[in-house]
């Protein structure tokens, strides 16, 4: 089973509280899977930044956290964070990210957390839509 498949299954399990009751209709959401690769030795700094600041700032800007993962096997276990966010739509995601990037609190957190060097060396973003048979939509 691929890492992406495992992560998607984990996201479904982690988000079980977000599933609408039978018969309830929810607007379609878009999911965004982001994979961050850190500079050497910086994963603990990234995890602290997410734990202490980033997740709360995401919520402030309409981004719903589905889950956060670190691979179990090296080298990913030493330098990779993978997470999934939900947005009301692709257009909302674009607006959410713009608001996040321009947030003075985020700018301060980023600057302070990178005082000893840049944390993230690469970001990969994949937008996804739930299938009709997905437990989470």
Q: What are phi and psi of 96, to 5 degrees?
A: -60, -45
Q: What are phi and psi of 110, to 5 degrees?
A: -60, -45
Residue 99 has pLDDT above 50, yes or no: yes
**Which residues 6+ apart lie within 8 Å of 100 measured at CB?**
57, 58, 61, 63, 106
Number of domains within the chain: 1
In a domain, 11, yes or no: no
In a domain, 51, yes or no: yes
**CATH code for the domain in which residue 73 is found:** 3.30.70.100
Taking the model in full, what pTM does it have? 0.79
Q: Is the Cβ–Cβ distance between 84 and 7 less than 8 Å?
A: yes
pLDDT in tens, 4-30: 544 444 444 444 434 444 454 556 899
Q: Is the Cβ–Cβ distance between 54 and 114 less than 8 Å?
A: no
- Report the distance separating Cα 70 and Cα 36, nearest Å: 10
pLDDT in tens, 58-82: 999 999 999 999 999 999 999 999 9
In a domain, 65, yes or no: yes
Domain that holds residue 73: 28-129
Model pLDDT, residue 1: 43
């Amino acid at each position: 089973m691929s890492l992406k498949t495992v992560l998607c299954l984990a996201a479904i399990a982690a988000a079980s509280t977000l599933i609408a009751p039978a018969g309830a209709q929810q607007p379609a959401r878009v999911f965004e899977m982001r994979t961050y690769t850190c500079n050497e030795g910086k994963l603990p700094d990234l995890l602290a930044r997410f734990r202490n600041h980033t997740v709360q700032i995401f919520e402030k800007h309409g981004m719903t956290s589905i889950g956060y993962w670190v691979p179990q096997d090296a080298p990913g276990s030493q330098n990779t964070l993978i997470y999934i966010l939900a947005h009301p739509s692709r257009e909302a995601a674009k607006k959410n990210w713009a608001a996040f990037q321009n947030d003075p609190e985020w700018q301060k957190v980023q600057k302070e957390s990178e005082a000893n060097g840049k944390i993230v060396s690469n970001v990969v973003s994949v937008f996804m839509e739930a299938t009709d048979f997905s437990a989470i939509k």
